[in-house]
Amino acid sequence: MYDLVLESTRRREVVDAVGISFSRTRALRRLARRPRTMTELAQALEIDKPNATKLVDELESLGLVRRTPHPTDRRTKVVETTPRGAALASRADEILGTPPQALLELDREQIDDLRAILKQLLAAQRDA
């Protein structure tokens, strides 16, 4: 859910720290959690397979991921992070897991208001 409400300054902070686009960082973070086939990655990112292939090609050319043989399907490759890719994903997770300073400065009433708004958004998302 946090990814959905992430403001552009947080995205910029991640891009500046990691050195790749936010969409590439998003893919890298998914792969760092669990190696995936190209189809699984496309589904996780909600993109089509040609775009997933392009993303993986770019990440691979940067030395952040590698394709390995699938353990049971010779026709399929599994995409996994390299140690460098895992480190960048971890850095992005660290940044995204730290609340923005402005959020930390909210008073109790503002936090309660924000909590109520988030509950409404989550309920609307579930109903959609």
Please give the Cα distance from 58 to 8 (Å, whole number): 23
pTM of whole model > 0.85?
no
On average, the pLDDT of the chain sits at: 89
Which H/E stretch holds residue 36?
strand 36-37
pLDDT tier for residue 111 given thresholds of 50, 70 and 90: confident
pLDDT at 2 over 50: no
Between the CA atoms of 66, 68, 70 and 74, what dihedral angle is there, to the nearest 10 degrees?
A: 120
* 3-class DSSP string for 61-117: HCCCEEEEECCCCCCCEEEEECHHHHHHHHHHHHHHHCCCHHHHCCCHHHHHHHHHH
- Say what the pLDDT of residue 7 is: 62
- Say what the pLDDT of residue 4 is: 44
pLDDT tier for residue 96 given thresholds of 50, 70 and 90: confident
